[in-house]
Chains A and B, each alone.
Chain A
Amino acid sequence: MTSPKFLWDFLPFFLAGIPVTLEIAFLAMAVALPVAVILAIGRKSPHAFVRWPAGFVIEFFRGSSALVQLFWAFYVLPLLGLSLPPLVCGVLVLGLNEGSYMSEIVRAGLEAVPRGQREAAVALGLPARYRLFRIILPQALPLMVPPFGNELITMLKFTALVSLVTIQDLSFRATLIGDTLGESGPIFGLTIVVYFILALILSGLVRLLEWAVARWAGRHVTAVAAPHGAMLAAAPPSRVPAWALGGAG
């Protein structure tokens, strides 16, 4: 009989899941970003044969459960003759799913730029590339970065699903350790805390990104940094009048 094992003994194996989880989150985000832009632009296309497929993809991925899509890609696609490695499978499903949601952010960001800006740029005879990179994007991007940041945190949480298709991320390792120890509560408690810490770190990085993009766009940093607070910022003060709080509790 071997000596009894403790959670402590498995810590290195468990923490080795962090790079796996982050890798999947970033790869899926790298898929989601172009997908979001393509879908957002496609959906506004004047041609129905572009608009319809874009709308279909968006509704398809938003309409059903991500876990069902993942299982379908993992169990059914090979039967249809398309065998993808689990990692590709997970990254594609997460990326396409998230991209469909993010297309809404891109659309809102582009629409937030007043029509007159584009018209003025055209009237001034600015070339198309200049219009996009110097007029439209500097105004649209700072608006998109904070919601994109939120989506990065969503993606981090989302990656836990890929543990169910044999990818050895944090969640997968936690399940293995729980089974080995015969006691799963503590390791899952630890797993939740690790995910939360990762989310805090990512939200800090997103704040840096917001600052950098605002600078690129030539804005005052405080103007965009205000509404989307960092995760651990104190609760904003309430606007409910003091008298209404007296007997409510």
Chain B
Amino acid sequence: MTTQKIDSVSISASPVVPEGFFSGGNAGQDFLVRVKLDDQYNTAGIFTTQTKIFTDGLNKYFLKHIQDIELLSSVIFWQKKTIDYQALNMAFMMDSLSEEDFEKEAEKFVVRQKEVQPALIASFIERLDLLTGLKLDTSDYADYFQCSQNNVMAGLSLINNPHFVAMLPSPEKTK
């Protein structure tokens, strides 16, 4: 261990390259060096980490958050579409738009329902609940997924959470 006097502060540091660092096991490896200063003891610790371990962790973190961002982004787009449609509908209700014009404009919002994998629905609902705490109902989820409410319920049945279980038919009543 070496000690230096820098700006009237005593800094202790461990060797940057410990014994055995250049052994065969580390050949061809990429390392990051980190310096950690400790205010309380006026010491500095120097640490090495394999770059791959660091970047793997970072990539995993990014991937998780990218998925969350994509999910939240899709919810924003869904809500934006709903708001746009509601504005159009409001214009019709306020007599700013004729029925014929409204029907024509509404065509732009029409979608066909599709079959969605229940596991995908379950994973989305759980994640959205965790991220936002928003409690939506089956027609809202069906609207988001552009599927039927029965399809949504097939997804809800895979979630082990009392709130979502309560949205399902009672097991003893179903065959």
Q: Are A and B physically bound partners? A: no
List residues of chain B with CB under 8 Å of any chain A CB: none
